[in-house]
Amino acid sequence: MFTTGQLIFALFFLVAFVAIIFISYKRDKKLHLRHYKGSGRVLIGFILFLVILLLLKSWVKH
Give the pLDDT score at 43.
Answer: 94
Q: Is 2 left (phi over 0), alpha (psi -120 to 50) or beta?
A: beta
Distance, CA of 60 to chain centre:
32
Tell me the per-residue pLDDT of 3-35, one tens digit each, with 9 for 90 and over.
999 999 999 999 999 999 999 999 998 888 888
pLDDT of 62 above 80: no
